[in-house]
Amino acid sequence: MSGTAGFRYADLFAGIGGFAAVLEALGGEHVYSVEIDKHASRVYARNWGRDPYGDVTEDASDGVMKVGEHDVLAAGFPCQPFSKSGAQKGMDEIRGTLFFNIMEVVRAHHPALVVLENVRNLAGPRHVHEWEVIIERLRAEGYQVSETSAVFSPHQIDPAFGGSPQVRERVFITATHVPDGHVGDPLVRPLALPAHVRMTREWDLVEDLPLEESHHVPGTDLSADDVAWVDHWDKWVQFMHALRASDADAAGEPARRLPGFPVWSNVWVASKEEREELMHPGGVRVPAWKANFLTKNWELYDRIRRVDAKWLRSWLNTTRTFPESRQKLEWQAQDETSLWNCVLSLRPSGIRAKRMTHLPALVAITQTPILGPRDRRLSPREAARLQGLPDEFDFGPQRDALTYKQLGNGVNVGVVWNVLKAHVERDKHLLHATDRGRAIYDAVANAPESPREPLRRALARRQSAVATLMPAGAV
């Protein structure tokens, strides 16, 4: 094993370095990294001192292997469709997908530990075939890997152990190479978080992230349309709260919550003919789920009309000047009394309102959440905190849109940290059977419970080296 590090790592589909952050904090020695996005590569270089810009299909394919020897292979790989044509099995079935290139690296070097990350849907019912191919190919190369998926999210993890208030469920496939003379367990249990790591209280987004105090963080201001849409729907929320309170007083019961079904004001019509056309467009009845929501929306509309038809008519006249997606509301904020008290996501399906406890998953498209109590969107720095990156992480002078995209594509540091800790404890007996496996175990098992301080120290070392070796403006 070269160098002084306990283990060496390769980082495929590296992004801005979420896996690198963990592996560097654990004392790993970088051997290889690759990332096809030039903007993400520049951020990786600014922080980790090496430019991963390149194409893994050119570096790891038939007859080509530019990836050096390593002990840990990490890959948050894109999930391309696997061919289902015919009844063929084996490597022919994954050729043409990026998983093929991962397996080329595995076949060449057989790293002691392989860590793969993907969207939860990879382990869902629509991708059973793809999941089986991945597990089968890893086992065929001599790895112990659970066929049962392990799904983790940062909001499940206590902040003392690296958790953060983001619901971001991702599936992890972790595999240990079975040394000569040993036999892998075909029924090995899936990874699970130990009880003491799990979050047991309700998140507080303001304190636990934390949020910046300012209402005026550059680049996060709301547009005039944003404010108009939220203000207008907030009038409806206030109307509904007043209506429900009066109903409760009349019945002598507690006030009910706002509707839990999607509110579609764009389908609020009165005539039977219009409703029939919406229920049977082109003479074909809509799916049952949609029929249920249409019926509930018409019942809601009729009820409001009976209470105050004049107010509703005025409110709807304005609503129907909005884009269709802004004529819809998904209320998931329980007993909150105003949209401006909520986390708001302006989605194609409507304006979604949630309590200020935690955030939905960052995504690589422009759906940056609105923080109602701050009158602005989530800032890039706050988004980085959601992914477990310290405030010292340097995105350089790039546009905020690129930063949001990169973070939405990245892995969460706290989740990876805890996944590795759970994995080395589960496969301790196999890792202890070889020198390189023991080095990985020692580095991970003896690391602090939280990645925050080791990560800050590792980042400071790398950024110092970058500043020393590269001229200003080089990355």
From first CA to last CA, the distance across the chain in angstroms is: 31
Query: How does residue 88 score in pLDDT terms, banded at 50, 70 and 90?
Result: very low
% of the chain with per-residue pLDDT over 90: 83
| 234 has a pLDDT exceeding 90 | yes
- Interatomic CA distance for residues 189 and 185, integer angstroms: 9
Residue finishing a domain among 378, 397, 426: 378
DSSP-assigned states of every residue in 90-156: GGGGTTTSHHHHHHHHHHHH--SEEEEEEEGGGGSGGGHHHHHHHHHHHHHTTEE--SS-EEE-GGG
DSSP letter, residue 221: B
For 262-279, the pLDDT digits (tens) are 999 999 999 999 999 999
For residue 216, being part of any structural domain is answered with no
Q: Does residue 282 sit in the same domain as residue 146?
A: no
Residue finishing a domain among 378, 405, 436: 378
For residue 231, being part of any structural domain is answered with yes
For residue 317, being part of any structural domain is answered with yes
Q: Does residue 397 sit in the same domain as residue 294?
A: no
**Average per-residue pLDDT in the chain?**
91
Residues in contact with 8: Cβ distance below 8 Å, sequence separation at least 6, in sequence order: 1, 2, 28, 29, 30, 31, 68, 69, 70, 71, 72
For residue 214, being part of any structural domain is answered with no
Give me the catalytic one of 65, 79, 188, 286. 79
For 114-169, the pLDDT digits (tens) are 999 999 888 888 888 889 999 999 999 999 999 999 999 999 999 999 999 999 99
Which amino acid does the sequence have at 375?
D
Q: Does residue 29 sit in the same domain as residue 136?
A: yes
% of the chain with per-residue pLDDT over 70: 91
| 398 has a pLDDT exceeding 90 | yes
Rounded to an integer, the average pLDDT of 283-312 is 96
Query: How does residue 94 score in pLDDT terms, banded at 50, 70 and 90?
Result: low
List the one residue out of 266, 265, 275, 241 whose CA is nearest residue 255: 241
Burial environment of residue 391 by CB neighbours within 10 A (0 to 12, 13 to 18, 19 or more): exposed
What residue numbers bound the domain in which 110 lies? Answer: 8-202+389-469
Overall pTM > 0.85: yes
Q: What is the pLDDT of residue 4?
A: 47
Q: Does residue 264 sit in the same domain as residue 124?
A: no
Count of all residues that appear for the chain in the document: 475
| 245 has a pLDDT exceeding 80 | no
| 360 has a pLDDT exceeding 60 | yes
Stretch (H or E) spanning 172: strand 170-177
Exposure class string for 406-428: b at 16+ Cβ within 10 A, else e = bbbbbbbbbbbbbbbbbbbebbe
Query: How does residue 466 score in pLDDT terms, banded at 50, 70 and 90?
Result: confident
For residue 46, being part of any structural domain is answered with yes
Q: Does residue 253 sit in the same domain as residue 357?
A: yes
| 84 has a pLDDT exceeding 60 | no
List the one residue out of 425, 424, 429, 452 whose CA is nearest residue 7: 424
Q: Does residue 170 sit in the same domain as residue 233?
A: no
Is there a contact between 323 and 312 (Cβ–Cβ < 8 Å)?
A: no
Q: Does residue 230 sit in the same domain as residue 83?
A: no
CATH of the domain at 400: 3.40.50.150
Q: What is the pLDDT of residue 96?
A: 66
Phi, psi dihedral angles at 232 (to 5 degrees): -65, -45
- Interatomic CA distance for residues 385 and 407, integer angstroms: 10
79 has catalytic annotation: yes
The two three-digit tokens of residue 153, written as one number: 């999210």
Residue finishing a domain among 320, 346, 378: 378
Count of structural domains within the chain:
2
For residue 137, being part of any structural domain is answered with yes
